[in-house]
Every structure is written in C-alpha cells, then in structure tokens.
Amino acid sequence: MTTQTLSLSGLRSDILALAAVGLIGLGIVFVAGHAQAGALHDAAHDVRHATGFPCH
Ligand SMILES: [Zn+2]
C-alpha cells in the first residue's frame, strides 16, 4: 500500500515535470514561430553564420 502510494506520487510528479517541460517547449516554439518572427529569425541567422553553420 505504502509502496503503491509512493510510486503513484512519483509517477504523478514525473507527469507534471513532463507537462511543464512540454508547455515550456511549446511556448518557445510558439514565441519563436509567431512572435517577433523577423527579429528572432535574424538573430538565429546571425548565430548560424557566426558558428559557421551552412545556411545559404
Ligand atoms: Zn544565412
């Protein structure tokens, strides 16, 4: 009983952590994809060139 409760709460916090990470990831994708797309694209583009990553 005790073990079951412990593993259940452990599973629950794992799910919470995954949900939080997923939300943060979705937020980053949303912000990068939709908000200030030009500025973020330029910044990413500059970083790509600065690191020598082939781009165009
Ligand atoms: Zn480029």
Q: What is the pLDDT of residue 2?
A: 63
CA of 27 relative to ligand 1 center, distance in Å: 25
Note down pLDDT in tens along the chain; length 56 residues: 666 666 777 788 888 899 999 888 887 776 666 656 677 778 888 888 888 888 77
Write down the residue that tokens 């908000």 correspond to.
35
CA distance 13 to 7: 10
Q: Structural domain tally of the chain?
A: 1
Give the domain range for residue 23. Answer: 18-51
Cα gap 45→18, rounded to integer Å: 30
In a domain, 56, yes or no: no
Whether residue 13 lies inside any domain: the answer is: no
Domain-embedded: residue 3: no
In a domain, 1, yes or no: no
Report the distance separating Cα 9 and Cα 24, nearest Å. 22
Distance 9 CA to ligand 1 centre (A): 48
What is the pLDDT at residue 34? Answer: 60
Q: What is the pTM of this model?
A: 0.38
- Evaluate whether 55 touches 45 at the Cβ level (below 8 Å): yes
